[in-house]
C-alpha cells in the first residue's frame, strides 16, 4: 500500500461459501463469518506490509485482542461475498478495524466485525510498537479512511435492555 491511500475502504477479493461451512440450519455457520473476515484482513495486511513475509523477515505480527461480530442476514451456499475493511484508528501498537461482509453481486449487508488488533514482537511474544515505516503506512490509511463516512454499527456492544 503506498504512502498515500485511497479514500475508500479496502475491498477483499470475492469469496465463495464452501459446502462444509453450511450448518444444519441450512446457512453459513457463524464460525465461518470469522474465517472470511480474517481472510479479508490478511489481504489488507499484505498491502500494508504486515503479512506473513513481515513476520518472517522482521519478526512482527498482529494478534486479535477483541472481536465483535453482528449477524444481520443469512448467507447460503452459492452466495458470493466480499468484505470491506475500514482502518478506523491506530496508535503505536494497536489497530482498530471495522468490516462489512456483503453479498458481492446484490450488495446487501450480511454481517459486520469490529476488531482491536495488537502488534506483536514474535521473539518475545509481547505487544510492541510498529516500526516507523509501517506506522507511516498505517497512518496514511487511517487518514484516508477517516475522510469517508463511517459505516453504521461501529462501537456496538452486547447487552439486553433492562426490564424495569
| C-alpha to C-alpha distance for 19 and 64, rounded to whole angstroms | 27
Rounded distance between C-alpha atoms, residue 96 and residue 87, angstroms = 6
Is residue 3 pLDDT above 70, yes or no? no
pLDDT given at position 4: 61
Check if the beta carbon of residue 39 is closer than 8 Å to that of residue 14: no
- Segment holding 31, helix H or strand E: helix 30-48
Q: What is the pLDDT of residue 30?
A: 97
CA angle 56, 58, 64 (to 5 degrees): 80
How much is the pLDDT for 5?
73
Q: What is the pLDDT of residue 95?
A: 98
pLDDT at position 7, please?
A: 84
Query: What confidence score (pLDDT) does residue 2 get?
Result: 47
pLDDT beyond 70 at 1? no
Mean pLDDT along residues 78-104: 98
pLDDT digits (tens, 9 = 90+) for 139-151: 999 999 999 999 9
What's the CATH superfamily of 22-146? Hotdog Thioesterase (3.10.129.10)
What count of Cα atoms within 13 Å lies in the side-chain half-sphere of residue 62?
27
What's the pLDDT tens digit per position in 104-126? 999 999 999 999 999 999 999 99
Q: For 5-9, 108-112, 131-135, which range has the lowest pLDDT when averaged over its residues?
A: 5-9
The pLDDT assigned to 9 comes to 95
Amino acid at each position: 500500500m503506498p504512502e498515500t491511500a485511497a479514500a475508500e475502504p479496502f475491498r477483499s477479493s470475492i469469496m465463495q461459501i464452501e459446502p462444509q461451512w453450511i450448518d444444519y440450519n441450512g446457512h453459513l455457520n457463524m464460525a465461518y463469518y470469522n474465517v472470511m473476515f480474517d481472510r479479508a484482513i490478511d489481504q489488507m495486511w499484505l498491502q500494508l506490509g504486515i503479512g506473513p513475509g513481515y513476520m518472517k523477515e522482521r519478526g512482527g505480527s498482529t494478534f486479535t485482542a477483541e472481536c465483535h461480530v453482528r449477524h444481520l442476514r443469512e448467507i447460503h451456499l452459492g452466495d458470493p461475498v466480499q468484505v470491506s475493511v475500514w482502518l478506523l484508528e491506530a496508535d503505536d501498537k494497536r489497530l482498530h478495524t471495522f468490516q462489512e461482509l456483503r453479498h458481492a453481486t446484490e450488495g446487501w449487508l450480511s454481517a459486520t466485525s469490529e476488531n482491536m488488533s495488537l502488534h506483536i514482537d514474535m521473539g518475545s511474544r509481547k505487544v510492541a510498537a510498529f516500526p516507523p515505516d509501517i506506522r507511516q503506512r498505517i497512518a496514511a490509511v487511517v487518514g484516508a479512511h477517516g475522510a469517508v463516512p463511517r459505516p453504521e454499527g461501529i462501537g456496538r456492544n452486547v447487552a439486553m435492555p433492562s426490564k424495569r
